[in-house]
Amino acid sequence: MQRKNKEFWLALLAAVIITAVYAFIIFWYRAIPAAGSLFGHLLGVLGFVLMLLTEVLYSFRKRTRKARWGSMESWLQFHIFTGLVGPYLVLLHTSWKFNGLAGATTLLTIIIVISGFIGRYIYTRIPRSLDGVEITDPGAQAQYAALARTRRMLSVWHSVHIPIGMALFVAAFIHIGAALYYATLLR
């Protein structure tokens, strides 16, 4: 495994294992698990928790410069891993039905994952030292212009990725509240 893509390969491995368990459940019950079933809820809850951890822990670590619990590179790898596995679990939770708010939430989830891939690509374009620290030495003028352009792209990406992520979590919390109210409390 390449060191830089370790989180992707681990997420892929997790997705293969999750898919095997999902396929076993389909085989055992002879049906796709309903979103409201015990297994469907388990997928949704685990996926949402991973997505919440993706955002909250990584953002908290990124904004607390004094904290020394793990390198930013490790936290970015965690962010990418949970940002791939969590949405995959949520996608399986849908039972392949994309109606109403749940469908809109799924669409936002897909958009945020695609946006994450784009952000990862832009992020890797910024030259870094072996420790992962961004290199700011202008060096040659052409390299400095390319670095400035990449930083601007990353800034624009952040201004799109973060609001979509916030909309996703608002929609997800509304979906969870509605599911608890209508499927649990009204029974």
- Span 155-179, pLDDT tens digits: 888 888 888 888 888 988 998 888 8
| The residue type at 44 | G
Binning the chain into helix, strand and coil, the percentages to the nearest 5 are 80, 0, 20
Q: What angle do CA 165, 62, 81 make, to 5 degrees?
A: 60
List beta partners, residue 88: none
> How many angstroms separate the Cα of 105 from the Cα of each of 50, 81, 167, 168?
16, 20, 9, 6
Question: In the chain, which stretches have pLDDT less than 50?
Answer: 1-2, 129-132
Here the tokens at position 2 are 């390449």
Q: Kindly give, in sequence order, each residue whose CB lies less than 8 Å from that of residue 88, ignoring residues fewer than 6 positions away.
A: 15, 18, 47
What local confidence, expressed as pLDDT, does residue 24 receive? 95
Q: Kindly give, in sequence order, each residue whose CB lies less than 8 Å from that of residue 57, ignoring residues fewer than 6 positions away.
A: 75, 78
Nearest to residue 171, comparing CAs of 94, 117, 121, 104? Answer: 104
Three-state SS at 148: helix
The CA R_g of the chain, rounded to the nearest whole Å, is: 19
- HSE (CB half, 13 Å, CA atoms) of 16? 6
What local confidence, expressed as pLDDT, does residue 128 receive? 56
Cα-Cα-Cα-Cα dihedral sign, residues 166, 172, 177, 178: positive
Burial of 1 (0-12, 13-18, 19+ CB in 10 A): exposed
